[in-house]
Structure 1
Amino acid sequence: MKILFLLPILFFTTPNMNARKKTDAWLSELLHRNASGALLHILNNSDSFQYQLIYTQINRNKHNTPSFKHFYLHVDKTRYFNPASTVKMPVAFLALEKLNKMNKPGVNKCTPMLTDSAYSGQTTVLGDSSSENGLPSIAHYIKKIFLVSDNDAYNRLYEFIGQKTINERLWQMGYTDFRVTRRFVPATEEENRHTNPIRFINAAGETLYVQPAAYSNLEFDFSKRILVGRAHYNRADSLIHAPMDFTTHNNAPLEDLQQILQSVFFPASVPAHQRFDLTENDYRFLYEYMSKLPAESKCPQYDTTEFFDSYTKFFMFKSGKTPIPSNIKVFNKTGWSYGFLTDIAYIVDFKNKVECMLSGTIYVNRDGILNDDAYEYEELGYPFFKEVGNIIYKHELERKRMFVPDLKNFDIKELQTVRNEK
């Protein structure tokens, strides 16, 4: 892990730059005590690297009911980081929830879904060669989101749910600082408010349900200006000697992302209003594909030289394309963009009966220029996640538990057997 001297990075949010951070001395001491020199360099320069960490300790009682204790390091809802693909996680959950609420005969997550176009910037999708039947579906899009963080799959779910519904539902669940305003494709703010007409069809090509084009008239609070870096390249590939403006971009505080993940793996641990309306089959489907590796997928099938085991698994594994042992499963969603790396994970070791949650983000952009593709992901970002993850994992292996957790509900082999039986 190469140590690089970081130049001062301009990072502004207004107002309230000095909001109190959540930090637990115990977590800071644990990491500092076990850190390499390279990790210490990052830990001791929190202002430059903008990192935030949440370690969630899980303890079970004699009935296997879990309880949770969160430890924080520099967690601050007012400090912006670009969430990148982590917003795909709640959007995937909301897509399944919307299907359940629609309750249309013959329409489920595996029903072919065709996307048409009706506004500037929109594109159609009438087929998907990576699926078994050559047609796109909600289920297939969700698979691609969690297997390789596919951008187009996210865009199609964004269009299915609609910008207004995504945000109003998340706010209703208590995530009032969350903001999902855009697809992952060049588009204006107005184009992102318009979403495509959609059709669900049966195997014979007959239309089962039509969802018309929609428009979001939702009002967002953009009063807090968010500027990152000292310069950036714009869409015309011109260098602009000013910070990049993220004021209207997606926003997802780390605590909210952690709680959203926890609500899907442990629904009873959160208030009723924070639970997604999902079926037992939905949960099993999500558990399977949130932990499945690209090499384990047949439809879609991936080139594993590009999409290696740890392609979307940052904590413990990403650096050096480390193979993931079969006894460990990481149920997670990562994101990477503009020098920001983020991972929201539930980690399970079935052999050693260990489980915990880890959530983290870091900013690695030495030159302070955004959109130049010169970020220190490999040198600093991925090694940070790997080392932090392994320090926590080692602590979990050594930690005394009153009751050994029963983790069979998350065993992917059992999940596949149950799904095949159904």
Structure 2
Amino acid sequence: MVKNRICKLLIFFFSVSFSHLSWGQFQPDSFLEKLLKKQPEKFSQLLDNPDKYQIQILYTRIDRNKNNEPRFQSYGYHVDASKYFYPASTVKLAAAVVALEKLKKLGIDKHAHMFTGAARQSQTEVLTDTTAEDKLPSVAHYIRKILIASDNDAFNRLYEFIGQEELNETLHRKGFQNVRIAHRLETNLNSEENRYTNPVRFEWEGKTVYEQPEAYSSKTYFSDTPILVGTGYMQDGTLVEKPFDFAEKNFFALEEQHKLLKAIFFPEQAPVQQRFDLTSDDYTFLYRYMSQFPVETSFPENYTDDYYDGYVKYLMFGATHTRLPRHIRLFNKSGEAYGYVLDNAYIADFEKGIEFMLTAVIYANEDGIINDDKYDYESVGLPFLANLGKAIFDYELNRKHTVRPDLGRFEVEYDK
């Protein structure tokens, strides 16, 4: 009996250890490199110049057992957390998830009205939101705008609600170590001003349910050493002929982005430390707006007219302006800035029963100049991500799947 008990404990130990190992680790580069080299007309120029294009890729294959439980096998190409890239708008997904978790902890509904004050001259207040159905701001509506159209101001308001220090420390406590979110987006605020975040007040049914004073980060989230990129940069209309220093800019390593995606779509399989304390409605809300097309959106109303299906859908579709198929959905967060183009997506084909996760970045800046608005997104970055997504999709389409996955959890109802 004792021997049987020991055997059972060993089996349990190794099964838990293996599940956590397979969750966080990935295979060497050979698989992805061999796969992409089968299409030299699309990839050879890029793969032959790894330093120039700074490509990093993470792909996770998902296989289900008869109980629909997923098993993961991840493959990486040149994934290296020590190699910096600017994460652009992909940091917004982290802010959205942490904001939802903070609301749950406070006992506040995500649709509650959120009023942002201004305690410093550099800060701006928000008391209305004309794009919302009731014309009032809320975390839910900010997240909706972030996920459908990558709205920068919406991210800034979540950053202010969470606070710089709380945002970073929450992610670090959960094991996402290679991440620094140090600043708002598309503002001229300096590093010191970004340590201050606005006072915030929440109302529910006309009554104040929570007030948060202005916060100041006691820590700084910068690189200890310079991060030099490019051969020069534009400053006030003048070319500065030396590399641009990203030491005080945001950082979100590719592997950390991929782990965050896994934690959102497969929370039950995530190590306990990396899980987010969200409600089932929170997860459905994220799935809906990570995959919803602008034309399917009721509010903001202008999204139907102003944005095309592929507006922020880079993998597989390359931000195409044509109508996208409805049975294939990218649950994603993409970004582009300073020449970097990236996307982080769980991709599902509900007709063919295909699912996989794919995260990738490429540097598309042929002249090496930062801030000159002459990046090569259309000619290099977006075609690469589209071709990469298609290559992985075709591989998934042709490989043997022992069990067809039940993807019902992700088949959400859209606004319209």
TM-score by length of 2: 0.91
Question: Over the residues paired in the alignment, what is the CA RMSD in angstroms?
Answer: 1.6
Partner of 1:43 in structure 2?
A: 47
Matched, 1:263 2:263: yes
Q: Distance in 1 between matches of 2:285 and 2:272?
A: 21
Aligned to 1:14: none
* SS class of match (2:192): helix
CA distance in 2, matches of 1:346, 1:322: 21
The one-letter code matched in structure 2 to 1:222 is S
Aligned counterparts of 1:377 and 1:305: Cα–Cα separation in 2 = 23
Residue type at the aligned position of 1:33? K
Map Cα deviations across residues 368-389 of structure 1 (whole Å, 9 max, x no partner). 1000110110011100011111
Secondary structure of 2:135's partner? coil
SS in 2 for 1:268: coil
* 1:310-354 deviations in Å (ceiling 9; x for gaps): 111101102542422010111010010000001000000000000
Secondary structure class of the residue paired with 2:251: coil
Change (3 A) 1:22 1:78: farther
The alignment-based identity, stated in percent, is 44
Tell me how far 1:26 sits from its aligned partner: 1.7
Does the alignment pair 1:287 with 2:292? no
Partner of 1:251: 251
Partners of 2:169 and 2:29 in 1: how far apart?
Answer: 33
CA contact (8 A) 2:233 2:241 kept: yes
Alignment partners' CA distance in 1, 2:350 and 2:27: 31
Across the two proteins, how many residue pairs are aligned to each other? 390
**1:198/1:211 contact within 8 Å kept:** yes
- Highest relative contact order (Cα 8 Å, sep 6+), 1 or 2? 1
Q: Distance in 1 between matches of 2:31 and 2:130?
A: 50
1:314 aligns with 2:295: no
**Deviations for 1:184-225, whole angstroms, at most 9, x for unmatched residues?**
111111110000011112343x32221111111114453222
Residue 339 of structure 2 corresponds to residue 335 of structure 1: no
Within 5 Å, give how 1:159-308 maps onto structure 2.
Answer: 159-184=160-185, 185-204=187-206, 206-220=207-221, 222-234=223-235, 236-304=236-304, 306-308=306-308
Task: State the one-letter code of the partner of 1:191.
Answer: E
C-alpha deviation, 1:22, in angstroms: 7.3
Distance change (3 Å), C-alpha of 1:46 and 1:296: same
Question: Which residue does 1:359 correspond to in 2?
Answer: 359
After superposition, what is the alpha-carbon deviation per residue over 1:110-166, rounded to whole angstroms, capped at 9, x for unaligned? 011010100131101110111000000000000000000000000000000000001
Q: Is the 8 A contact 2:42 2:387 kept in 1?
A: no
CA contact (8 A) 1:295 1:302 kept: no
Deviations for 1:62-113, whole angstroms, at most 9, x for unmatched residues? 100001111111111100000010000010000000001112xxx3100110
Q: Structure 2 regions of 5+ residues with no counterpart?
A: 1-25
Q: Which amino acid aligns with 1:111?
A: A
Cα distance change on mapping 1:38 and 1:396 into 2, 3 Å: closer
Aligned to 2:348: 348
Q: Give distance in 2, aligned partners of 1:305 and 1:248.
A: 37
| Structure 1: runs of 5+ lacking an equivalent | 1-20, 418-422
Give the match for residue 84 of structure 1.
88
Once the 2 structures are TM-superposed, how far is the Cα of residue 38 of structure 1 from its aligned partner?
4.0
The reply to whether residue 378 of structure 1 matches residue 378 of structure 2 is yes
Say whether the 8 Å CA contact 2:295–2:305 is kept in structure 1. no
Partner of residue 30, structure 1: 35
User: What amino acid does structure 2 have at the position aligned with 1:178?
Assistant: V
Q: TM-score, normalised by structure 1?
A: 0.90
Structure 1 residue 269: Cα displacement: 1.9
**Map of 1:121 onto structure 2:** 122
Q: Distance in 1 between matches of 2:174 and 2:66?
A: 31
Farther off after superposition, 135-144 or 313-322:
313-322
Question: Is this contact kept in 2: 1:293–1:309, CA < 8 A?
Answer: yes
